[in-house]
Homo-oligomer: A and B are copies of this chain.
Amino acid sequence: MSNIGIKDIAARANVSTATVSYVLNGTRNVSPKTRERVLAVIEELNYKPNDIAKSLKRRRTDTIGVIAEDVTVFNTPEIIDGINDYGDRHDLHILLTNLRLDKRIGRDFTNLDKYRRYAASAVSELLSKQVDGIIYIGVHTRDLTGLIDTEGKPIVYTYGYTQVDMAIQYNDEQASYEAMSYLIEKGHRKIAIISGLMDSIPSRLRLNGYYKAVTEYELPFDPQYIKMGDWERESGYGLTKELLQLPEPPSAILAMNDVMAVGVLQAAKESGVQIPADLSVIGFDNREFSDYLSPRITTMDIPLHEMGYKAMEALHCLMQGKPYKPAEMPVCRLIERDSVGLLRN
């Protein structure tokens, strides 16, 4: 086991520990000869620096804490992947905390007390571990103001935000607007939308994009085309049935997630309407399964990797006291598949 330290190699190379430290970190010029000698001994003894000691001294760990509300929720792994991507390039390590919210308190976000305890202890542990900063990954975008106190350590939120901290979000409004534009390009004018829960920010923003498109393209506006879903398949199913029953049913449906789009497909199938011949569908999230359904569904891909990457980049700036220039919001991208038909009229 690696009991050898800087002083062992110093002794064996006939230099001071300071010199070893210098060659290790390139902190100061060292004559080529001594450097070689030191390096040789390091190699010979298979020396591995002890980052713990280093961190204690430098008062920096080059480690950031990631608090994931639930790593098993679909957005989280890709975000973490983005965080890693940036981390790898800048020698930043990740201490992962998984709140396991889905399993521990389910979707009942009103149970704030329990939640707050979990979150507080997670932050507290991370702080004790002396992380240089924290990234918080929520399971759905909402206002987390006042729930977390990092005692001055920088924090960046994604899939969530507070009124005071930095947060990385993608552009929801643009996304639904773009989906609408695509549908309109394909000749659709009677377009319905099935939203997620209305207490959700993305739902509201995407609805804005919808309204914007309706207005700009001067589509016939019909309040009946706007259905409030709850993100689950059943609501996609039920609301599609309603839509299909309308005297003037839509020719296209924009579902705010792929799960509800599954319900749309099912309702259409049962009602004998062909997708995309009779009805077009666009989903959201580009979940893996959206490519496995039949028809394969066209969907908006959320830039999760980029969000993780940018969150880390932003945090890194904060950690160094630099300001982070928020640049552009990450943007969703339409994945064209087979669920949208050309409407010739």
Contact = CB atoms under 8 A, between A and B. Distances in A.
Interface of A: 1-2, 46, 48-53, 55-56, 61, 63, 66, 70-72, 74, 76-78, 80-81, 84-85, 88, 93-98, 100, 103, 124-125, 127-130, 151-153, 233, 259, 262, 265-266, 269, 287-289, 292-294
A48 B130 CA distance: 10
B81 A128 contact: no
A105 to B, nearest CB: 14
Contact of A78 (B51, B72, B95): B72
A127 B259 CA distance: 42
A74 B76 CA distance: 12
B81 A129 contact: no
Contact of A77 (B61, B77, B127): B77
A71 B81 contact: yes
Given A80-B71, A100-B85, A292-B289, A53 B56 contact: yes
Contacts of A129: 51-52, 63, 93
Contact of A76 (B77, B124, B233): B77
Assembly stoichiometry (copies): 2
Given A94-B95, A259-B292, 17 more contacts: A1-B151, A2-B127, A48-B124, A48-B151, A50-B128, A51-B128, A51-B129, A52-B130, A53-B56, A71-B77, A71-B81, A76-B77, A80-B98, A93-B129, A94-B96, A94-B98, A289-B292
A174 to B, nearest CB: 25
A127 B81 CA distance: 22
Contact of A72 (B77, B98, B153, B289): B77
Contacts of A153: 1
A51 B131 CA distance: 10
A52 B49 contact: no
Contacts of A127: 2, 48
A337 to B, nearest CB: 14
A269 B84 CA distance: 42
B1 A262 contact: no
A55 to B, nearest CB: 5
Contacts of A61: 52
A128 B47 CA distance: 10
A95 B63 contact: yes
A72 B81 contact: yes
Contacts of A98: 80-81, 84, 94
Contacts of A100: 81, 84-85, 88
A63 B53 CA distance: 15
Nearest to A118: B88
A325 B275 CA distance: 55
Given A52-B129, A93-B129, A151 B84 contact: no
A63 B93 CA distance: 13
A127 B292 CA distance: 42
List of 3 A-B pairs having minimum Cβ-Cβ separation, nearest first: A289-B289, A84-B98, A96-B96
